[in-house]
Amino acid sequence: NLMFELSYDYIDKSVVFTKISLKKVLEVTFSNLGASVFEILFSDNCNNMENILMAPQKDTWLTDKTFAGSIVGPLAGRYEVGETGLEKNRPPIHFHGGSDGWDKVVWDQSITKNDDSVTVSFSHSTSDYKASVIYVVDRNYNLTMEILVSPTATTYLNPTNHMYFNLNGSAFLPVTNHLFQLDSDSIFHEKNGLIQSSDPVNVPEHFDFQILSNLSSLPTFHGINHTYKLNKDYSGILRHPTNGRQITFRTSLPSVVIYTFNVPQENFSLNNQLYPIYSGITFETQYPANNLELVRFGPTHPYHSKTTYSFSIIDEKNDIHSAEQN
């Protein structure tokens, strides 16, 4: 099998980075810390392989990754906890899985390789549930992420992945030059970071990306940090206008949090230079947060979701083709 190459980098006895390379076009590095996607190198239409994820450097990421690339869970987002007993790790709310969330767990890892794909499976169990995160990289340049959780008791589950994409190939160039499309005409009203109602409202004009739109307007409304209700196609597109890189997203989940890195963060830097504002965009597929009824699962009601990221390259003539033909 010459299509996929695998390599491993052990940080210590417990943390491993697994790199899957596909024909000098796509190279995905996973880590069992946080069941994460740490890095994605992707070719452009001039055969430049560059990292299209924005994250802290590896040594910083290991100690302070602030969710970049990781599975956020069991409960992603912000929740008013009431009498549930959920940890108020950002008083007075529960935030992103709590102080011992899934991003901080070293998951068990197994790898299956065949002619058409490589599967990286992560598993983690507690007395309340058995969780699996299954990533598949296939020969058609898709990265599929399935999350399955079998609870042993009633539990709240709303996991997501917090990858920051930047198709420039350098995090020092903001995504304000990208084109973005999202299959959504409604947004959840939020106040102080909390969703106020389970009924979404019509998307305001400046947050409307139903047609492929330029992200150059981000600074005029201080970036996106919103939960969108997805339409039936449950999809989105992120495209670079000149280098040809494009990602299409599809999900089984009903909503997505789009966040455009609206505040620089100390640990997101290289050589002591901070990555600028808007240097990444997340596509966090999930259930809308702050609605605990919606995310209550149990032994007869297990959790399952699937999100697929499809990578393609557009040549100068704007012909869309898969990376396969590059």
- Rounded-to-integer distance, Cα 301 and Cα 129, Å: 12
Q: What is the pLDDT along the chain (326 residues), one digit of tens a residue?
A: 568 999 999 988 899 999 999 999 999 999 999 999 999 999 999 999 999 999 999 999 999 888 999 999 999 999 999 888 899 999 999 999 999 999 999 999 999 999 899 999 999 999 999 999 999 999 999 999 999 999 999 999 999 999 999 999 999 999 999 999 999 999 999 998 899 999 999 999 999 999 999 999 999 999 999 999 999 878 999 999 999 999 999 999 999 999 999 999 999 999 999 999 999 999 999 999 999 999 999 999 999 999 999 999 998 655 555 555 54
Residue indicated by tokens 């001039």 = 46
Name beta bridge partners: 18: 8, 30
pLDDT at residue 65, as a whole number: 81
Q: What residues contact residue 236 under an 8 Å CB cut-off, 6+ apart?
A: 180, 181, 182, 183, 209, 248, 249, 256, 283
Rounded to 5 degrees, what are φ and ψ at 234? 50, 50
User: Which pTM was predicted?
Assistant: 0.95
Taking the CA atoms of residue 89, residue 92, residue 93 and residue 98 in that order, the dihedral angle to the nearest 10 degrees is 10
The pLDDT value recorded for residue 315 is 83
Q: Which residue type occupies 259? A: Y
DSSP letter for each residue of 223-272: --EEEEEP-TT-EEEEE-TTT-EEEEEEESSSEEEEE---S--TTSEETT
* Residue 25: other Cβ atoms inside 10 A: 18
CA atoms within 13 A on the CB side of 323: 28
Question: Where do we find the tokens 């739109």?
Answer: 213
pLDDT value for 265: 94
Between CA 230 and CA 179 the distance in angstroms is: 18
The pLDDT value given to residue 320 = 55
